[in-house]
């Protein structure tokens, strides 16, 4: 069942189109990653979906509702973790969660949300004493108070250490397993690759690549990389290679096969391919191929 539908969504600031004809869908239980470099329009899209901003054109439906017109109903079923939360620094973690509960209909107990976000042991600590990563966990705890059916996460693990990120991924995965639709933005491509079933890459307000993660990666190109071969002309190799500093790089749809071909050639020539690396397509490479003129 579809939880989020976005059709031809556009939003301008003055004459500047921050979001341009964006369309995608997120099903219940799906994790959808919205990627793009700074200023691509990710946060604006999220704010339009959350009903914080009104679209200039296009349509948004969250659980079948219009987030602007049906804001209260939408807010009841959604959890939102934006980039900058305004906390009161002198409240403790628990006091912060308790005071937020007052605004959330049928909220779960504060300790439960803190436990889910891995912050229960900091319940008595003042917010001003939390690390950056712990503040993100508090954001997450607050977003989970209302047992949301739809969760918007804007760069949820920024500032977290590797352990905190992994713990957060586990929480996000288990929420999706329970049926929560999750839309996340992130600058960590490994995070998107680890978590998301579907992905959209935005560039200058538009979606330039979208689809299932597995399909997108399968369609991408891999690479074979090795140290430059002294005294050999790169154009004499059986496959095209480009020179990147002291390394030669061969792009290929099937990098394993390309590596075999190159190794066979090297053996026949009596040379060794030093520092050989075979890389399958990654989200990072796909991302770097998009909008390289920025
Ligand atoms: N209220 C506003 N008024 C004018 N311009 C804005 C406003 N909000 C965002 N923009 C501009 O719209 C563009 C998209 O911004 P947005 O915050 O959506 O990007 P983003 O993809 O989330 O970037 P980041 O990765 O840096 O968070 C940017 O160029 C930004 O400067």
Query: Does residue 294 form part of some domain?
Result: no
Sole residue written with tokens 């690390």: 131
Give the C-alpha separation, 250 to 260, whole Å: 12
What value does the mean pLDDT take over residues 235-250?
93
**130: which DSSP letter?**
S
Give the closest residue (by CA) to ligand 1 atom 26: 38
* Mutational test site, ligand 1, from 38, 44, 56, 200, max ligand atoms within 8 Å of CB: 44
- Closest Cα partner for 63 from 135, 125, 4? 4
Q: 168: burial class by Cβ within 10 Å (0-12, 13-18, 19+)?
A: buried
Q: In the predicted model, what is the mean pLDDT of residues 113-118?
A: 93
Ligand 1, atom 2: closest residue by C-alpha? 13
pLDDT score at 294: 43
Instruction: Tell me: pLDDT of 130 over 50.
Output: yes
pLDDT number for residue 291: 59
How many Å lie between the centroid of ligand 1 and the Cα of residue 168? Answer: 26
Is residue 20 predicted with pLDDT exceeding 90? yes
Where does the pLDDT of residue 33 fall: very low under 50, low under 70, confident under 90, or very high at 90 and above?
very high
In this structure, the residue with its CA closest to atom 7 of ligand 1 is 13
Between 4 and 289, the more confident residue is 4
Residues 169 and 269 reside in one and the same domain? no
Residues 161 and 241 in one domain: no
> What is the 186 CA–ligand 1 centroid distance (Å)?
15
Distance of CA 210 to the CA centre of its chain: 13
Task: Give percent above pLDDT 90 in the chain.
Answer: 76
Residues 213 and 226 in one domain: no
Q: Token pair of 225, please?
A: 């990389």
**Percent of the chain at pLDDT above 70?**
98
Q: Are 199 and 283 in contact (CB under 8 A)?
A: yes
Q: Are residues 27 and 81 in the same domain?
A: yes
Residues 175 and 239 in one domain: no
Q: Tell me what pLDDT residue 293 has.
A: 52
* Domain co-membership, 8 together with 92: yes
Q: What is the pLDDT of residue 177?
A: 96
Residues with CB under 6 A from ligand 1: 13, 18, 36, 38-44
- CATH code, domain with 229: 3.30.70
The runs of H, that is alpha helices, within 178-281 are 189-195, 213-219, 255-269
CA distance 31 to 157: 15
Take atom 16 of ligand 1 and give the residue whose Cα is closest.
41
Has residue 292 got a pLDDT over 70? no
State residue 176's pLDDT score: 97
Shared domain check, 201 and 284: no
pLDDT tens digit string along 40-98? 999 999 999 999 999 999 999 999 999 999 998 998 899 998 877 678 899 999 999 99
Distance from chain centroid for Cα 136: 15
CB-based contact 34:183 (threshold 8 Å): yes
- Say what the pLDDT of residue 220 is: 79
Listed in sequence order, the residues at least 6 apart from 43 whose beta carbon sits closer than 8 Å to its beta carbon are 82, 83, 154, 185
C-alpha of residue 237 to centroid of ligand 1, in Å: 46
Which numbered atom of ligand 1 lies nearest the CA of 44? Answer: 18
Rounded to whole angstroms, the Cα distance separating 20 from 23 reads: 9
Distance between CA atoms of residues 187 and 38, nearest Å = 9
DSSP character for 75?
H
Shared domain for 152 and 278, answered yes or no, is no
- Is residue 272 within 8 Å of residue 224, measured between CB atoms? no
| Runs of H (alpha helix) within 89-212 | 93-101, 110-116, 132-144, 162-177, 189-195
If asked whether residues 63 and 137 sit together in one domain, one would say: yes
Pair 262, 196 in one domain = no
Ligand 1 atom nearest 14 alpha carbon: 4
Residue 193, SS3 per DSSP: helix
**Structural domain of residue 50, as residue ranges?**
2-217
Are 210 and 243 contained in the same domain?
no
Which one-letter DSSP state was computed for residue 88? -
């Amino acid at each position: 069942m579809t939880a989020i539908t976005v059709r031809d969504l556009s939003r301008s600031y003055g004459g500047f189109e921050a979001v341009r004809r964006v369309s995608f869908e997120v099903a219940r239980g799906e994790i959808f990653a919205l990627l793009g470099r700074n200023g691509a329009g990710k946060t604006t899209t999220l704010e339009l979906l959350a009903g914080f901003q009104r679209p200039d054109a296009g349509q948004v439906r969250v659980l079948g509702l219009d987030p602007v017109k049906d804001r209260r109903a939408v807010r009841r079923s959604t959890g939102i973790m934006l980039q900058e939360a305004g906390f009161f620094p002198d409240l403790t973690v628990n006091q912060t969660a308790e005071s937020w509960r007052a605004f959330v209909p049928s909220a779960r107990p504060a300790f439960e949300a803190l436990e889910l976000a891995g912050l229960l042991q900091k319940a008595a600590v003042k917010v001003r004493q939390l690390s950056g990563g712990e503040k993100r966990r508090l954001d997450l705890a607050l977003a989970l108070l209302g047992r949301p059916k739809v969760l918007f996460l804007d760069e949820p693990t920024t500032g977290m250490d590797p352990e905190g990120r992994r713990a957060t991924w586990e929480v996000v995965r288990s929420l999706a397993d329970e049926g929560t639709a999750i839309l996340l933005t992130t600058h960590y491509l490994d995070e998107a690759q680890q978590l998301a079933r579907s992905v959209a890459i935005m560039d200058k307000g538009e979606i330039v690549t979208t689809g299932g993660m597995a399909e997108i990666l399968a369609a991408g190109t891999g690479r074979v990389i090795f140290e430059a071969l002294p005294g050999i002309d790169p154009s004499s190799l059986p496959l095209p290679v480009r020179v990147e500093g002291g390394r030669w790089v061969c792009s290929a749809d099937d990098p394993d096969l390309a590596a075999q071909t190159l190794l066979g050639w090297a053996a026949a020539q009596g040379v060794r391919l030093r520092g050989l690396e075979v890389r399958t397509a990654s989200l990072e490479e796909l991302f770097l191929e998009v909008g390289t003129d920025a």
